[in-house]
Structures are given as C-alpha cells and as structure tokens.
A and B are shown apart, each in its own frame.
Chain A
Amino acid sequence: MKELRLMKGNEAMAEAAIRCGADGYFGYPITPQSEVLEYLMAEQPWKRTGMVVLQAESEVASINMLYGGASTGKKVLTSSSSPGISLMQEGISYLAGAELPCVVINVVRGGPGLGDIQPSQSDYFQATKGGGHGDYHLYVIAPSSVQESSDFVKKAFEVAFKYRIPAMVLSDGAIGQMMEKVELFEQMPRRTDEEVIAECGSWATTGKTPDREHNVITSLDLIPERLEEHNHKLQAKYKEIEENEVIYEEILCDDADYVIVAYGTSARISQKTVQLAREKGYKLGLMRPITLWPFPKAKIAEYGETKKGILVVEMSEGQMVEDVRLNINGKIPVEFYGRSGGMIPTPDEVLTAFEKHFM
C-alpha cells in the first residue's frame, strides 16, 4: 500500500532503517542530522520490529558499536555529520578491512574543522577515496531528495550485504533538513536469529558450533604476504562493484552540447539551471552521479567524445571535478563552479557561471 508522508530527509532515513529491517542503530547527536536519532528514539522501533537503538558516548564509540554489531551478521547503521564522520574514520577502515556490511550516513556540513552547520558537499574526497587508512573504498550513494534518502538507505544495505562492505549514504544538510513528500516502502521483516545464522554463520560471530571452526572477525594480519593477498581480494571485490553497481541519471543530455555534472543538492539546483538555460535556447543537460563510488567513469568518458564542454557544480571548492577531469582526460574543457562553507549556490549563479565559461 502506498503510504505518503511529509518528512525531513533525516527522518526519512531513520524510518527507512526501521522499514528495511535493520537490527541496530548506534549514534551520537550532531547538527544537522540529530533528527535521525531523535526520530528513532521517539518511534521506539524496539517495540515495532525489535530493532536496537542506542545513543553512544561519542562517534568513536558509535562506529565501534557498529563494528561489533556488524560482526554478528546483523543489519546495523549509524549516522553523523562531517566532524563526527572524521572521528569515525578509524573504525570505518576496520570495518572495510574486516569485510563487514553496515551503513554509515553522513549528512555533510561546512568544513574544515568544526566548520558550520550549513549544507556542504566538501566530504566527497573523504567518502569516495577511502577516508581512513589503508587501501579501501566504501560504496557511496548520494540522495538528492527526501524520497531518495529513504530509498537509498535500503539500497545501501543491499549492496553492503551483497559484497560485505561498509556503505555510505552521503547526504547533506539541505536534504537532511528539507521536507518533501515521501512514499515509504513497506516494512520488511527483520531476519530471525536463525536466518542470520543461515545467511552469515559462515563468517560472523554467531557462536561457535562443534561442526565448524571458530569465526574470527579481525582486520589484523601480521604476515605481510597474507595481508597483501587480503588486499588483492578486496581490490577484486571493488572491481566487481565498479562493473556492476554504477548508478547515474541523465536529464536532457541526449541533444545537449554541454552538460552540468552535479550530485545531491547541487544537482537539484543545477536542474533548475538547465531549465533556465533551455528557456534561453542553450543546449544544456544535467548528469547526476548517484553512486559517487563506484563513479560513473564510462559515461563521463563518453562525454569527451560527444559533448563540447562540462561544468561541474559542487558545494565545495572542487572535489568531484577531479574525477570528472580524470575521465574526460583533456578531451573537452571541464570547468568548475562551487560554493563552500555552507553556502548554497542558486540556479542563477550556476547559469551565470555556465555562460561565462561556454557562451
């Protein structure tokens, strides 16, 4: 049954977590994402589905609770905003190293440092290039609406469990705080303990039975040859993800001479710019990477052959633009327009930048 609600992005992610049958949430308050924990505590999912919700003493504790929780084979998530996510990086690296599925939500705010609490996209590097120490990637999916905030929590869990990797939902303060109409997906049952054991008992800490060796979850291996082999295994997995899990959206790109590449809130704003540009007769389209890792490399590379120029729009000083340039490889001009520190570009500003560079 179709269930429509007016919700903030943060609330939609919390509700989605309950509905996709998550077993546990562990988090710590930080603006602009505190509504996630607030919503869960008000909603009392332990009564609805048996889901555990716990306010931790810090982001460090949250991510380590996630590490413990994910090791049991259960579905666990946390959420935070930029400075809190920085604190979690060590734990995220452990989760990646130990090949544990989980979901981390980052509702990005202005930085660096304590920065401010306004929307930003300046955590792109951190999210897509690993973030913590070691050779690893997260699956990173970026919603641009409240609807997608809900849908992508579910999607992130699916991919996390399919490949046994940590997944990140990269939102921002605007989408987190904004209210829109959401069509909620139906409640999925939480797996029973028996189902968890059946699905994850081969690797998770489910309790050693006499018929199997003990399961150990660790990211430590003091033997370099073995650790290198483990890294190769991770890389093979990442390659598979790059081949199978890229998602992007194109709007009015078919006949376009020029394309704006933008994700999340910037993509929403740029879509309006495209509308304004079309009214002026410019053949402009929008390409929105939905998965930021894996990045839609092939599609971007194709623009090098088919388009005249690209404008990358971000709420940062220019991060994703590096990946776009890498894949365009000098074939056509790639220009950048960004606002940072919590400033949100307006559709007119973006149009002016486009005209300055290309018209």
Chain B
Amino acid sequence: MTEEIIIAGFGGQGVLSMGKILAYSGIMQDQEVSWMPAYGPEMRGGTANVTVIISDDRINSPVLNSYDTAIILNQQSMDKFEKTVKPGGLLLYDPNGISKHPSRKDINIYQIEGAAEAARLKSGKTFNMVVLGAFLKLKPIVEFDNVIKGLKKSLPERYHHLIPMNETAIKSGMKIVKEIQKL
C-alpha cells in the first residue's frame, strides 16, 4: 500500500499539522512516511501545502506530480491541485470559500463542511481534524487508535487536554462527509 496525498490551503488552517498527525499515525502502525512541506515566506499567511506519503515500502520521491488524494481547503489550491489527482483518485474539499467547484469526471469527489462543523463545535482550531476525519472515513489507511496515538505524539504535552475535543472533531468529520461524485 502506498498513499500519496497533497493537503493544501491557507497558512493557519492547520494544513501542516494535519499532515504531521497523519504521518505520525503511519509510524504508529509501522509504515514508512514522508512529510514534505512547501516552506518559506509563502507559509506566513499565504498558501500552505504539504505532501504526505504513507507506504508499506521505502518511499522514493518525496516530491510528486500526481496524487492519490488531494485535500483542498481554498480556491487557489483547487486551481493548482485539481488537475494533479490521479484518474480514479480522490479529491476532498471544503466548499467554504470555493467559487469554482471541481469539474473533473474521472475522479471521486467529496465535500467536507469543515469550517462550518468546527464553528458548530465551538472550536475553530479543530477544523483540520474534521477534515482529517472525513479523509479517514473515505480512506481508512490508518486505524483510528493510531490516529489518536499520532495526535498525542505530535502535540506537546501541555495540549494533551485538547485530545478529546480533537477526537470528537475527527468523528464528526467522519459522519458529515458528503459524496459529490463517485466513480
């Protein structure tokens, strides 16, 4: 199994940390992982993206042209990454702020109302966990327990009291993910 994922959105949406939790979850179940951010000034306020690869085998290129899954959280990222999803792959996106919805016919498309759900949970910061939940529902490449373990590993201990809240967010993301187009 090899899953190649791009997560893209605005800086501050938790794009990088979502990727990190996913990567840690992979390690928890003894898989190979790589987490390759686009770093630099663009991280500060502008767009942010990270390539996450989880595999049973040694990972070769950490930089890719096409992905099994694109998780897209703003319009700029939609413009840039819709075309990079492999035929038959998955595009998961939050429709909030998207004016031009994806139009490809050869991929699976799902929506997650992450921002709205995080607002309903009264915790804006769990946005990325809602989205992560949606992804895991569609592609359960890592087990839920390992995600919680990964969360513990990637959060400093002083934030561990927030783990139940994140767990709730992941579960609600799993529930509310909406199918737009299934091949």
Instruction: Give chain B interface residues in 62-81, CB to chain A under 8 Å.
Output: 62-65
A192 → chain B, closest Cβ, in Å? 34
Chain A: CB-nearest residue to B51: A178
B153 → chain A, closest Cβ, in Å? 7
The interface-forming segment of B19-27, B95-103, B104-112 is B19-27
Are A181's CB and B27's CB within 8 A?
yes
Are A174's CB and B62's CB within 8 A?
yes
- Per the bound structure, the CA–CA distance linking A227 and B35 in Å amounts to 50
Are B154's CB and A6's CB within 8 A?
yes
Are B39's CB and A180's CB within 8 A?
no
Option from A31, A179, A180, A346 in Cβ contact (under 8 Å) with B64: A346
Are A174's CB and B36's CB within 8 A?
yes
Are A6's CB and B35's CB within 8 A?
yes
A33 → chain B, closest Cβ, in Å? 11
- Residues of B near A344 (CB, < 8 A) are 63
- Per the bound structure, the CA–CA distance linking A253 and B63 in Å amounts to 23
Are A269's CB and B37's CB within 8 A?
no
Q: Does A271 sit at the interface, judged by CB under 8 A?
A: yes
Q: Does A4 sit at the interface, judged by CB under 8 A?
A: yes
Binding site secondary structure of chain B? mixed
Q: What sequence of 0s and 1s flags, for each residue 269-283 of chain A, a beta carbon within 8 Å of any chain B beta carbon? A: 111110100000000
- Report the interface size for chain A: residues with CB under 8 A from the other chain: 27
Chain A: CB-nearest residue to B33: A181
- Per the bound structure, the CA–CA distance linking A4 and B26 in Å amounts to 12
Q: Does A296 sit at the interface, judged by CB under 8 A?
A: no
Q: Does A80 sit at the interface, judged by CB under 8 A?
A: no
- Residues of A near B37 (CB, < 8 A) are 177-178
- Residues of B near A270 (CB, < 8 A) are 61
Are A178's CB and B27's CB within 8 A?
no
Option from B36, B60, B64, B65 in Cβ contact (under 8 Å) with A178: B36
- Per the bound structure, the CA–CA distance linking A275 and B32 in Å amounts to 18
- Per the bound structure, the CA–CA distance linking A346 and B65 in Å amounts to 6
Q: Does A173 sit at the interface, judged by CB under 8 A?
A: yes
- Per the bound structure, the CA–CA distance linking A179 and B51 in Å amounts to 10
- Per the bound structure, the CA–CA distance linking A265 and B64 in Å amounts to 12
Are A179's CB and B20's CB within 8 A?
yes
Are A173's CB and B63's CB within 8 A?
no
Known A177-B37, A177-B39, A181-B27; contact A272-B61, beta-carbon cutoff 8 A: yes
- Per the bound structure, the CA–CA distance linking A173 and B36 in Å amounts to 11
Q: Does A347 sit at the interface, judged by CB under 8 A?
A: yes
- Residues of A near B59 (CB, < 8 A) are 180, 268
Are A6's CB and B20's CB within 8 A?
yes
Q: Does A292 sit at the interface, judged by CB under 8 A?
A: no
Q: Does A348 sit at the interface, judged by CB under 8 A?
A: yes
- Per the bound structure, the CA–CA distance linking A174 and B59 in Å amounts to 15
B62 → chain A, closest Cβ, in Å? 5
Q: What sequence of 0s and 1s flags, for each residue 12-32 of chain A, a beta carbon within 8 Å of any chain B beta carbon? A: 000000000000000000011
- Per the bound structure, the CA–CA distance linking A79 and B61 in Å amounts to 25
Chain B: CB-nearest residue to A267: B60
A157 → chain B, closest Cβ, in Å? 26
A336 → chain B, closest Cβ, in Å? 19
Are A173's CB and B39's CB within 8 A?
yes
Q: Does A117 sit at the interface, judged by CB under 8 A?
A: yes
Are A174's CB and B63's CB within 8 A?
yes
Q: Does B34 sit at the interface, judged by CB under 8 A?
A: yes
Are A269's CB and B61's CB within 8 A?
yes
Are B62's CB and A178's CB within 8 A?
yes
Q: Does A150 sit at the interface, judged by CB under 8 A?
A: no
Q: 4 extra interchain contacts, Cβ-Cβ under 8 A, other than A180-B35, A346-B65, A349-B65?
A: A174-B36, A178-B34, A268-B62, A269-B60
Residues of A within 8 A of B (CB): 4, 6, 31-32, 116-118, 173-174, 177-181, 265, 268-273, 275, 344, 346-349
Residues of B within 8 A of A (CB): 20, 23-24, 26-27, 32-37, 39-41, 59-65, 153-154
Interface CB pairs A-B, < 8 A, 8:
A116-B40, A117-B39, A174-B63, A177-B36, A181-B26, A181-B32, A265-B62, A270-B61
